[in-house]
Chain A
Amino acid sequence: MGEDEGEGGHDEGTVDNVSDLTKNPKPPVEELPPSETPWQESLRLFRKDRLAVAGAYVLLLLLLTAVFGKVLTEWVVVFDPEVVRLPEKFLPPLTVSSPDEISAHDRPFGGIYLLGTDELGRDVFARMLQGSFVSLSIGFIAVGISLAIGILLGGLSGFYGNVRLGVVTVDTLIMRFTDVMLCFPTFFLILTVVALLPPSIYNIMIVIGLTSWMGTARFVRAEFLALRKQDFVVAATSIGARDRRVIFAHMVPNAIAPVLVSATIGVATAILTESGLSFLGFGVQPPYATWGNILADGKGFIFDAPWLFFIPGMAILVVVLAFNLVGEGLREALNPKLRRR
């Protein structure tokens, strides 16, 4: 993910490898009180990771910002991100709007530009607010799509892998398809598709989702394969429980931990991918503001209005970092092997 825009896919693979191969990143910590449920245990472990906790607070704040952003910029318009005020372009953060230049109707909330104005005199704070919701929804929806496909295919392959369809098994079919998808250089593929298709926000979400499910599919399959041999699943199957029940009542909850971790990191990757696409001019198009395209537009004015570059850049950095730290915290807290020690 360092060459995030370049080869997100391969790097993501590496991260997954870390999770597969790192069986016990930390030695046993202390004896556990027996009354704790696994989730309480995880929570306690997570709390011990100060970076992850800080990340979680940032994410909470971000979530609130996004919701308020949606409400305050679109439903009850307190911060209007679309008002153009040419005479007040390129004002630095915390500048007070001048009543002589701007009619009362067009003035920003409180008469002050918290984060300054852009090249059209639009309020950057309002645009960032609006963008937070869009950026987050891109991350969540893309990851949602990727998880849905990944869990479905991985689950099918792991549970019904031995079912034969003609000459090949379901497992072979799905895993070969996964291999095919892994053959495309991810960012290049995303770029190709996004550049060739009309640039709608949905296309970007869908394309990111469709090109990032392979990791999830592979480890859900591995998890299912392992779980199938576990006592409680064997027991459930032997007393004649239906497949559906075995899958959803027994296996999915047990396989959910790594999915959660990869989802958290996936959102971070999706936000970075969107900013990379914006940089190349294929990101989300107006009227939607995202942090990625505010940053990409702002880079041209780095000498004239540096805040247009640094504010969205730092915002992306902080949020993506928070997602990554929380993801890492979750990985360690949810790792059952770690718990057992």
Chain B
Amino acid sequence: MQAFILRNVLQRLLLVFIVSILAHSVIHLAPGEPSEVDPANPRMKPEDIAKIREAFHLDAPLYMQYAYWIRDLASGELKSFKDSQPVLGKIWRRFLNSLPLFICATLLVWTLAFPTGIQAAMHRGAVYDRTTTFAAYTLISVPGFFLSYIVILWVVDLFGVPVIGLKTFGMELAPPLFQTMDRIWHLVIPSLMSALGGMAILSRYVRSQMLEVVGQDYVRTARAKGATEDVVIYRHALRNALLPFVTMFGFLLPGLIGGSVIFEQIFAWPGLGRLGYEAILARDFPVILTLNFIAAVLTLAGTLLSDILYAVVDPRIRTGLQGDG
């Protein structure tokens, strides 16, 4: 087991290295300059621009720029082009903003998908099943921003409460409980919006997983023994159906960064996705690269975690996994 983990970790470290080189080259070779190097600004003279380029190492050869980036990243002194603030600090603050949204959305996905999916499986072919199937596909198919706007318009018109941003302004004097609840309310709609798609997919997955398990011998046996339907479904079937879901926890991590640019943009949520988006617009290379790097590390950590979880819960798979990361 240790050797398995060690080998996987080493492989992934190599991957991270390759990913970072790839990302670095793509971004530096693409046309366009950081927005600080702004030739359209009549105040800037060619000498000023040359100075800025030098300060950003933009004229150094590519491999040297890569080396500077890694050096600064490692020492934690990497600075954003845009405002010269330490990149890691910026990312950390945005991470803290994204976290509640991410947790809330994940909770919604996982708690709502299971009952829906199980019910659908139990009533296969019935109106409930067909309705949820159709609803799930509709949610997968609707452009996220289209639905969000409709929901925002609806909530604002009908209930007259603010939904944009992290909190309501002008509540600084309200009691802490009110302020907390206000913050929770501002979480509801953006997290629901970003959870809908995941909920639809997961509930479909739960449904098919349950259907498969229900047909297995041990479930039939349990049923034949005269166990009640609930016991059959929730004790025998569900437990076995859960196995593959263990691996999905691993895939949750990267969702933090990939986050959702679009929902953060609509709901004015200052999260990681928007940090990345703004950085792309300003060609703030250190921020883009570092975010990409962290995303890659998280993805790999996630797959590692799911491999290990899988290997732990199902030893048969261990050998198979070694070839297929």
Contact = CB atoms under 8 A, between A and B. Distances in A.
A and B touch in the complex (CB under 8 A): yes
Interface of A: 1-7, 9-11, 13-15, 17-18, 21-27, 51, 171, 175-176, 179-180, 182-189, 191-193, 195-198, 268, 272, 275-276, 279-280, 292, 295, 299, 302, 309, 313, 316-317, 320-321, 323-325, 328
Interface in B197-225: 197-202, 204-205, 207-209, 211-212, 215
Interface stretch (B44-52, B74-82, B86-94, B258-266): B258-266
A184 B23 CA distance: 9
A59 B219 CA distance: 40
A185 B257 contact: yes
Given A6-B273, A176-B15, A324-B137, 4 more contacts: A2-B139, A7-B254, A21-B244, A320-B141
B26 A23 contact: no
B138 A317 contact: yes
Contacts of B195: 2
B22 A313 contact: no
Most buried by A among B15, B18, B197: B197
Contact of B251 (A13, A21, A272): A13
Chain B, interface residues (CB within 8 Å), range: 35 or more
A196 B141 contact: no
Contacts of A196: 26-27, 30-32, 280, 283
Interface of B (DSSP majority class): helix
B143 A275 contact: yes
B254 A10 contact: yes
10 contacts: A2-B197, A7-B259, A10-B255, A18-B201, A22-B211, A26-B211, A171-B323, A302-B153, A317-B138, A328-B137
Interface in B104-138: 124, 130, 133-134, 137-138
B300 A193 contact: no
A11 B146 contact: no
B244 A11 contact: no
A299 B262 CA distance: 14
B307 to A, nearest CB: 12
B141 A317 contact: yes
A18 B205 contact: yes
Contacts of A27: 211, 215
Contact of A197 (B30, B204, B276, B303): B30
B248 A6 contact: no
Contact of A5 (B22, B251, B260): B260
Contacts of B16: 183
A180 B257 contact: no
Contacts of A14: 201-202, 205, 248, 251
Given A183-B299, A325-B137, A5 B146 contact: no
A320 B142 CA distance: 8
A11 B197 contact: yes
The 4 closest A-B pairs by CB, nearest first: A2-B197, A6-B260, A185-B258, A196-B30
